[in-house]
Structure 1
Amino acid sequence: MAVNFKMAAATVVAVAAYLALAVLGEGGWRSYTAHPALIALALVTIALGIAALFTKGNLSSGEREDRGNRWVLAVFGVVGLLLGYVPALTDRLGFLTFGGEGVRWLGVLLFALGGALRIAPVFTLGERFSGLVAIQPDHELVTDGLYGVVRNPSYLGLLVSTLGWALAFRSGVGILLAACMVPPLIARIHSEEALLGERFGTQYQAYRARTWRLFPGLY
């Protein structure tokens, strides 16, 4: 499978920077590695980054893009940077933290499961998966597998993984930051659904009627 070297370089930099923020927040490498769960968190982050190298996800605007939704990317970027650093900082300071090592390991588990759920649809969609809200050339509606249950499995994975990251640092502030991802995600989902509804018409309406938008059984 071919690797997009520009995207690969961006992924490597992003993973390294994210882990560096966490180490910095914890007060250095020695403090960070004092917790086995955080070592596992770093290893899972690296593994997910390696897996991402072999996806075909992109930032293509395709045939048609809702450019008015690009503000969501800026929010994701800001909240993402805060999540990289702040939970680790509050962990070191003992500010609004809770639980012990069991909470950390629960966080690692959720981060791994959420990360896998986040990246699996990128493999499924291939070049049709764009970081922008856009219809791609030869766009087809996928309605089986994970998409047969929830219409946005990758976004569900993002929320689960960010919650897991916060819990790995036992951070109440981190949980609040993870919750801040929900409003822009919902805005992005509505934008995508509008485009897909226009493209696929009654086929998409029927698909919406038999699946959940984000949380199975809830929403």
Structure 2
Amino acid sequence: MRPTPGMAFFTLTGTLAYLALPILGWGGIAPFFAHPARTALIIVTMALAVAAIFSGGNISSGEREDRGNRWVLAAFGVLGLLAGYVPAWNDRIGFWAIDGDTMRWIGVALYAGGGVLRLVPVFILGRRFSGLVAIQPGHTLVTTGLYGVIRHPSYLGFVVSSLGWVLAFRSGVGVILTLLMIPPLLARIRAEEALLRSQFGAEYEAYRARTWKMVPGFY
């Protein structure tokens, strides 16, 4: 899908601004890039950001929106900013660090894999994917592929990539920050499913009955 210049600018500048947080947390550009795992983290982040530009996702309120769920975005914003800075700072001072370099690379792998899982559903849904809990014009259910097994693959990717990010800095505090993201994420899932149920009725109930929310066989 062809991106708009505005979306490309917003995505890339926002990503670069966010990456300034861990670089500051690690004490500057040279110290941050002194380890190849952190360099890999930046490369993966920029690659995902460039791919996201072509995904077709948006932040439109569409035809119907659950505005009461917008508090979740604020919660993610605060926790995201903390996760951007605190794990890197913890890594630099050696506070509550988990293991060593092996954990860094496990984190990078989880971050990359989770990022791909986060992004693939956006490509599948295209303009139907919004950063808000909303029904878009011409909205239809997707019930095949990833969506034939789990209903929220992008949210699963979000959790995996968030965990990978903090583990790349070996941060025990970062793991706690990731866990704190789960309650607002579950609130968003409940709001989204309620909206889809009201929009698609029996079709969505049947789909819901034969799939898992995020983890097959568990949840």
Q: Name the TM-score, length of structure 2 as normaliser.
A: 0.98
2:196 corresponds in structure 1 to 196
Residue by residue over 1:44-103, the C-alpha shift from the partner in whole angstroms, topping out at 9 and shown as x without a partner, is 001000101111111111111000000001111111111111100000011111111110
1:54 corresponds in structure 2 to 54
Q: How does 1:1-219 map to 2 (within 5 A)?
A: 1-219=1-219
For residues 32 and 216 of structure 1, the distance between their equivalents in structure 2, rounded to whole angstroms, comes to 37
For residues 60 and 200 of structure 1, the distance between their equivalents in structure 2, rounded to whole angstroms, comes to 20
Deviation at 1:188?
0.5
Residue by residue over 1:138-165, the C-alpha shift from the partner in whole angstroms, topping out at 9 and shown as x without a partner, is 1100011111111000000000000000
For residues 215 and 7 of structure 1, the distance between their equivalents in structure 2, rounded to whole angstroms, comes to 31
Deviation at 1:43?
0.3
- Matched residue SS, 1:197: helix
For residues 21 and 197 of structure 2, the distance between their equivalents in structure 1, rounded to whole angstroms, comes to 40
* RMSD of aligned alpha carbons: 0.8
Deviation at 1:120?
0.5
Residue by residue over 1:3-39, the C-alpha shift from the partner in whole angstroms, topping out at 9 and shown as x without a partner, is 1222211111121012111111011111111211111
Deviation at 1:136?
0.8
Would you identify which runs of 4 or more consecutive aligned residues in structure 1 move more than 2 Å?
none
1:169 alignment partner AA: F
1:96 alignment partner AA: W
Could you tell me which runs of 5 or more consecutive residues in structure 2 were left unpaired when the two chains were aligned.
none
- Matched residue SS, 1:138: coil
For residues 145 and 200 of structure 1, the distance between their equivalents in structure 2, rounded to whole angstroms, comes to 20
- Matched residue SS, 1:3: coil
Deviation at 1:133?
0.4
For residues 42 and 65 of structure 2, the distance between their equivalents in structure 1, rounded to whole angstroms, comes to 35
Percent identity over the alignment is 63
Deviation at 1:216?
1.9
For residues 130 and 109 of structure 1, the distance between their equivalents in structure 2, rounded to whole angstroms, comes to 26
For residues 18 and 161 of structure 1, the distance between their equivalents in structure 2, rounded to whole angstroms, comes to 15
Q: Name the TM-score, length of structure 1 as normaliser.
A: 0.98
- Matched residue SS, 2:139: coil
**What is the aligned residue count?**
219
Deviation at 1:171?
0.1
